Amino acid sequence: MSAGLDALYSFLPPPASLIAIALLVVVALALIFMGKKVAKALVFIAGGVAVALITASFVNPYLGGLLTLVAAIAGFALGGLIAIFILKLGIGVALGILGYNIASWLGSYMVVGIVVGIILFVIGVLLSDKILAVTTVLLGSLLLIQSLNTLGVPLLITLTFAALLAALGLYTQLRERKP
């Protein structure tokens, strides 16, 4: 067993440990093949729930009952859409900060770092779907490698299998769907 997950599953009996690892493999495959959709769905749900709860807590004293429920449902939809927009913006901000830090680290002037950061911010916003797909494929592949390694599968086989699945998953997530 791998040292990383070995300590995590040491308290579980062997059948429960195998079930937990099997669930991690399923999550890894979901991230590899549908990661962009899974991430967007989770972000939509999280943003929707947050805004729905805030909306319900503010309008309940004034509306009450069914109207509070309707306002919470509208808040859920609006919050989910805002969260998806913020996800794209967040990817751009993260890439912009990364570009600025790399430019500063390389010894360029602050103005050059800011320009590089702004350019990478725009690129991050425009390519956020592709960046999200690559990121989820990488995370899913790493989780798959760790899970299979914990089961005792040899590392070379695990890496080969994960690389093939990553390439297939990246192709699946990045291909353009024709209507």
> Hey, what are 165's tokens?
């699945």
Alpha helices in the chain (DSSP H): 3-9, 14-59, 65-105, 110-126, 128-150, 155-174
At residue 7, does pLDDT exceed 80? no
Round to whole Å and give the CA distance between 81 and 25: 30
Backbone phi and psi for residue 38, each to the nearest 5 degrees, phi listed first: -65, -45
Contacts of 128 (CB under 8 A, 6+ apart): 87, 88, 91, 92
> Hey, what are 176's tokens?
């353009």
Higher-scoring residue by pLDDT: 109, 157: 157
Q: Tell me, what's the pLDDT at 5?
A: 60
Residue with tokens 């495959």: 29
At residue 103, does pLDDT exceed 70? yes
Higher-scoring residue by pLDDT: 85, 11: 85
Contact in structure between 81 and 125 (CB atoms under 8 Å)? no
Q: How far is CA 93 from the centre of its chain?
A: 16
Q: Tell me, what's the pLDDT at 107?
A: 80
How many CB atoms neighbour CB 15 within 10 A?
A: 8
pLDDT in tens, 34-81: 999 999 999 999 999 999 999 989 988 888 788 888 999 999 999 999
pLDDT in tens, 118-156: 999 999 999 999 999 999 999 999 999 999 888 888 999
Q: Tell me, what's the pLDDT at 22?
A: 87
Q: Tell me, what's the pLDDT at 19?
A: 85
Q: Which amino acid is at 13?
A: P
Q: Tell me, what's the pLDDT at 179?
A: 57
Instruction: Note the maximum CA span of the chain.
Output: 63
pTM to 2 decimal places: 0.77
Q: Give the Cα-Cα-Cα angle 139, 31, 136 (nearest 5 degrees).
A: 45
Higher-scoring residue by pLDDT: 126, 17: 126
Q: Which amino acid is at 54?
A: I
